[in-house]
Amino acid sequence: MSVQAELENPARQRLRNVAIVGATGAVGAELIGCLERRGFPVAQLKLLASVRSAGKTLMFKGRPLVVEPLTAEAFDGVDIALFSAGAAISREFAPLAAARGCVVVDNSSAFRMDPATPLVVPEVNGGLLASRPMIVANPNCVAAIAVMALAPLHARNPIVRVIGATYQSASGAGAAAMAELELSTAAHLAGEAFAPKVLPHPYAFNVFSHNTAIDPATGYNGEETKVMDEIRKLMAAPDMRVSFTCVRVPVLRAHSMALTLEFEGQVTAMEALSWLADAPGVRLVNDSENNHFPMPSEATGVDDVLVGRLRGDASDPTGRSLTLFLAGDQLLKGAALNAVQIAEQYAL
């Protein structure tokens, strides 16, 4: 029986008091939606945010809930807290919540590479939750989406090298970046000047390197480094050779990426398609006849990661490499949905 089916079984449900930290942000809104849509057994939902956002009203199951200010005492009596308010907030408040007996699922980078904190995508390494850790890290959105395709392939034929290029949407930079894309596009179409305020470059009809700092020693930006390190940790493959180029594209929501994979043994596209066909959380979109492959427009609002365009890597004469394309909703599997799926393991 699946986790979702068990949650829908009244005999297995025990209501939990849940808190969302950063409830007024883009991921916070999706967390609320995921809890409601998936029927999470919520006894009481507490919405927490900065003092500036406290007092706002958000809806849950048709009922208005007032956003409360974030304090350590706010976690008293809370069973599970879903954090999405940035690394500094998580470092300060996650240990305080855990000390009060509250399980923390953290969506920031604060604990992802901490050796003592599990980094989890339930379909990939959910077994790490069996020991019931008090703090669990939610991966970077690109890493979470990528491993949904990598893990089922790696299980059949070990992957030794990954080369990735991402096409990352505005949603990865939050609600303000999404608004800036809409406003700058409208201004561009109207022939009006628009000065970017959220992102460092003009966003309408433009692409640019991901807006995180470049490490002068490696030449990789912060996003690329996070993705590479987290994929290795999620896959329990510290020696996997991984290189990513992360690019921001003018898409409102859902990230896409092209991946070239080198395997330990020879592999064909047909074999890989068969391995992905029954992978949980993966949907094949691979219609060559109609040139229909994964697109962010079709991944938006969808729980599954769309995978397709599988083909042999023409640059590798050994027959051990494949190239594929995928798209996944950054706010869902890349953030809120994955966090709620982790929390569901604690609700059984």
The residues annotated as belonging to the active site are 141, 255
Residue 157 DSSP code: S
Neighbouring-strand partners of residue 59: 64
Determine how many CB atoms are found less than 10 A away from the CB of residue 8.
Answer: 14
Q: Specify which residues 8 forms β-bridges with.
A: none
Cα–Cα distance measured from residue 348 to residue 8, given in angstroms and rounded to the nearest whole number: 10
Cα separation of 163 and 242, whole Å? 6
And the tokens for 2? 């699946």
Provide the token pair at 134. Answer: 């008090």
Contacts 24+ apart (CB under 8 A), 30-37: 30/331, 30/332, 30/335, 30/336, 30/337, 31/82, 31/84, 31/336, 31/339, 31/340, 32/58, 32/59, 32/60, 33/336, 34/332, 34/336, 34/337, 34/339, 34/340, 35/60, 35/340, 36/60, 36/61
**Which CA distances in Å does 63 have to 36, 75, 177, 341?**
11, 21, 29, 23
